[in-house]
Structure 1
Amino acid sequence: MNNLLISVVIPTFQRPDLLQRCLTALGSQTLPTDQFEVVVVDDGNDADTAALVRNLARQGALQLSYLGQSQRRGPAAARNRGWRAARSPIIAFTDDDCIPQPDWLRAALKRFDAGASVVTGRVEMPLPNRPTAHDRTTALLETAEFVTANCFCRRTALEHVGGFDEAFDIAWREDSALQFAFLRAGIPIDACPKAVLVHPLRPARWYAPLRDERKNRYDALLYKRYPNLFRARIPHYPALVTAYYGVVASALMTLGGAVAGNKSVVRAGGVGWLLLTTGLLAYRQANQPIGELPKNGLVTIVSPFLSVYWRLYGAIKHRVWYL
């Protein structure tokens, strides 16, 4: 007999140590373990991950199942496979690097008992004593309206909107795409501050901000799908975007002036580039040791060009006016 009240779906990719921490936290839920199941969808089809989940399943502390993806398709596709394979009418989503707090499931279920269709919980991301600019940006997840690291949906709501949009094939904007799909369909999203999970910041390589600029191409896709909701609910950071375009324009102006042999144009472009880059570097270097200056300087110089490239790439690929 199926007594399950809720199914927890966790996409993972080659991080068995983090996944084990998450599963340990789920084993400490105040909700009895016979009332929920955990579905792990392995987007890396990793042998160590499979062994971890199957060993824990044999121990019997959790009702665990493992699904391996034949090829990497991103967390949206992994979550879709997970909720469709789940056995309960309510689906909880979290990520392998999160730590659900003991009352996480019980708190959310109370909102469903009151008639909710979709619930979003609260994410805590403690910052280190000397956070980097990348840390501060990542920790903005705490203030997001809706994150799939901590959300709960009735199966019927997911079926109504078709689940996650798998065109978002990396961990970026797939949560907003699901949120906007619910809102467009008239499905309300209830906040549940008592459904708490901790999302520790993981140490990032110094070049992580450069790698992350590729995410900008998915903003164009989200804008194309939901232009009004995008404008109303996605932070735009106009000062930063303007500065990035200004840096690129100044660099092109300097280059054009050099090619034309016009020293005044070279000088004007160079001064503009220097002023804008200095301002951006001051923000990135804030509260950081002086030894980080070379790395931060390189990231500051390169980031505007990558950001503008990926924004324009997304606009062209998805044929939408998004700058």
Structure 2
Amino acid sequence: MLHTWLTERFGLRVPVVGAPMAGVGAGRLAAAVSEAGALGMIGVPAAATGEWIAGEAAVAGGGPYGIGLMAWALPGNPAQLDAVLAARPPLVSVSFGAYEPFVGELRRAGITVVTQAGTTDEARAAEQAGVDAVVARGAEAGGHGRDEVATLPLLQSVLDAVRIPVLAAGGIATARGLAAVLAAGAEGAWVGTAFMGCVETALSETAASRVLAAEETGTAYGRVFDVAQRLAWPPEFGGRALRNAFFDRWKGREDELAADDSARAELDAARRAGDFDTAYIYAGEAVGMVRERRTAADVVAGFAAAGRLLSRFAAPGS
């Protein structure tokens, strides 16, 4: 059994956090990941209500779990923070925007607070802001974040730059990836895409089929889908998603897209219809390793094999 700050802090058997994936991971997936011995998280969409958070927290809350919030959305939706404080999950992630004002209140409530950093300077700033741990999120990761530094160089730099615990995110989908970041000095892995094939996600069967069929080169990074929806994501945080026809048509034409109401309506209609030639599915570069429908327990059990990989290098009798 692997022992790290992450496993000791939350009583886990496997040093993995199921990343908060809005629209993919709600209470059911969080509960399944946690029951399997890792730490599941609920991804909170920007427009989610406090009631939605309370309901999903009730589903997830049989063991240790976490909730992921988008910092840029909180000022316009303060009920989200109120609901999280009422639920008191063991872990809260606040990322992407001005997260600093929320750190103290969450910690005073007895909640462990982390944030995601896409550069070493962001990790240093997170330590100064008082978070308990920082997630070094590389450009390979799915969903929103920076596209500036890959996971391995970022992780090495962040580990040298901060004294707080560091988790690694981006491109980690198997025990081999977990072993690699643990060997480098991370306290665990922050894993999203590897769980996207799980039966406990909120993805439709059509979306899940797209994930399972995607190749490792089948993702693209940009702001096309956010601009089309008029979402107020800070511009430095684009999103990595499965490449599709809508993305390819509008990539590089974001200024034009921002004024095109017909494109916005087209995307909205596609989302309702489940047409993923137009609608988006956020996923990371590890998607090529997600090949079959599995349970979250199966995925977590696969990560547990990292201990055997790392033991190859232990001296006899050590």
Give the TM-score normalised by structure 1: 0.31
What is the TM-score when the length of structure 2 is the normalising length? 0.31
Q: Which structure's residues are more often helix, by fraction?
A: 1
